[in-house]
């Protein structure tokens, strides 16, 4: 696997030559983006060096060269992090161990006290490690999901009911791919992670296409709109917090703007999820009431 070379080729293809000061020389471009010699010119390195990097024949690169390549390609912060991670690959690194039982009792207790806020603890690859009742009501009853499938990215692509929750599924799905690509760069020898990637590539054509673009992004604050079968449309802020004692985990919480329709809908959903009984199965939320 040549993650550094694949990433450089994908990012080079995404650059508009004229936007980085490369004039149109009249030659037909057989591929989109920058030519290798143009990237070499912008980064002040030899064309042969760019070729060797893209072919995986020179994976260990100095920081100044990486900075120059990142500047030439106009990489964002997350993309720069990915570039450095891909360039500093050490063969034989230890594979990631499943962390499903690693959530501390204190963090689980915190989740249980967040009665008004759906919340979960995730791994960096979006494994759902722990959740509260609000998260189960908002998204899916994770208790009914087989442990190997308790992964937000797997569910987003391969579970039709979970997929239907998103008002803008393509946007949410592409963000998932970017997060997964970021983690693949950080952990190139993680066998569990690459098994997940292989399953997603085999199971969804959109994932295959977006994976090939090499877009990368780390976790950050998002706004997402869900179409919930009980309360209808909910626009929520997705807040993500690192867990200092467990750097590979983070806490995610869903909140709605105060006094908004989504706030009312979320409040109803949480109350309904606590009080529902078999006789309440037909309960629905009408935001106009």
Confidence at residue 1, expressed as pLDDT on a 0 to 100 scale: 65
Task: Kindly tell me if the per-residue pLDDT of 278 is higher than 60.
Answer: no
The predicted-structure confidence for 203-248, as pLDDT tens digits, reads as follows 999 999 999 988 887 666 589 999 999 999 999 999 989 888 888 8
Q: Which two tokens stand for residue 50?
A: 């760019």
Confidence at residue 88, expressed as pLDDT on a 0 to 100 scale: 67
Query: Are 70 and 109 within one domain?
Result: no
In a domain, 289, yes or no: no
Query: Are 139 and 269 within one domain?
Result: yes
Which distant-in-sequence residues (6+ apart) come within 8 Å of 199 by Cβ? 154, 158
Q: Which of 87, 116, 138 finishes a domain? A: 87
The predicted-structure confidence for 164-183, as pLDDT tens digits, reads as follows 999 999 999 999 999 999 88
CA distances to 237, 255, 288 from 264, in Å:
14, 11, 10
The predicted-structure confidence for 40-68, as pLDDT tens digits, reads as follows 888 888 898 889 888 888 756 778 788 88
Q: Which of 87, 122, 139 finishes a domain? A: 87
Confidence at residue 219, expressed as pLDDT on a 0 to 100 scale: 61
Residue 282 is classified by DSSP as T
- CATH code assigned at 80: 1.10.260.40
Which alpha helices (DSSP H) does the chain contain, by range?
3-13, 36-43, 47-54, 63-73, 77-87, 105-113, 133-138, 152-158, 160-163, 169-186, 191-203, 205-211, 261-275
Q: State phi, psi for 152 to the nearest 5 degrees.
A: -65, -30
- Record the pTM: 0.70
Query: Are 223 and 189 within one domain?
Result: yes
**Lowest model confidence (mean pLDDT) among 3-17, 48-62, 79-93, 98-112:** 79-93
Residues 155, 203 contacting (CB under 8 angstroms): no
Please give the tally of structural domains in the chain: 2
Q: Which residues of 25-48 are buried (b: 16+ CB within 10 A; e: fewer)?
A: eeeeeeeebbbbebbbebbebeee
Using only the alpha carbons of the chain, give its radius of gyration: 22
In a domain, 147, yes or no: yes
Query: Are 23 and 161 within one domain?
Result: no
CA 199 centroid distance within chain: 16
Cα separation of 274 and 282, whole Å? 15
Query: Are 253 and 116 within one domain?
Result: yes
Q: Which two tokens stand for residue 143?
A: 């208790």
- As a whole-number percent, the residues of the chain with pLDDT over 70 amount to 86
Query: Are 152 and 259 within one domain?
Result: yes
Domain of 151? Answer: 105-280
In a domain, 96, yes or no: no
């Amino acid at each position: 696997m040549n993650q550094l070379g694949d990433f450089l080729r994908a990012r080079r293809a995404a650059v508009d030559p004229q936007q980085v000061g490369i004039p149109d020389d009249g030659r037909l471009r057989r591929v989109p983006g920058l030519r290798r010699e143009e990237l070499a010119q912008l980064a002040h390195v030899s064309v042969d060096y760019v070729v060797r990097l893209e072919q995986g024949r020179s994976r260990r690169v100095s920081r100044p060269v990486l900075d120059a390549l990142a500047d030439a390609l106009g990489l964002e912060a997350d993309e720069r992090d990915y570039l450095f991670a891909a360039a500093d690959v050490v063969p034989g690194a230890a594979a990631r161990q499943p962390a499903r039982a690693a959530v501390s009792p204190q963090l689980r207790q915190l989740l249980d006290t967040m009665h008004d806020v759906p919340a979960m603890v995730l791994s960096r690859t979006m494994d759902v490690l722990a959740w509260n009742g609000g998260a189960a009501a908002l998204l899916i009853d994770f208790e009914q999901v087989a442990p190997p499938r308790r992964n937000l990215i797997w569910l987003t692509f391969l579970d039709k009911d979970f997929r239907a929750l998103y008002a803008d599924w393509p946007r949410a799905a592409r963000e998932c791919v970017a997060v997964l690509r970021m983690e693949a760069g950080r952990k190139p020898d993680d066998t569990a992670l690459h098994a997940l990637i292989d399953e997603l590539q085999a199971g969804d054509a959109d994932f295959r296409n977006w994976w090939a673009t090499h877009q990368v992004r780390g976790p950050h604050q998002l706004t997402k709109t869900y179409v919930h079968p009980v309360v209808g449309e909910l626009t929520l802020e997705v807040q993500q917090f690192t867990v200092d004692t467990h750097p590979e985990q983070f806490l995610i919480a869903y909140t709605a703007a105060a006094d908004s329709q989504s706030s009312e809908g979320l409040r109803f959903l949480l109350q309904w999820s606590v009080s529902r009984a078999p006789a309440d199965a037909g309960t629905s939320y009408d935001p106009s009431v």
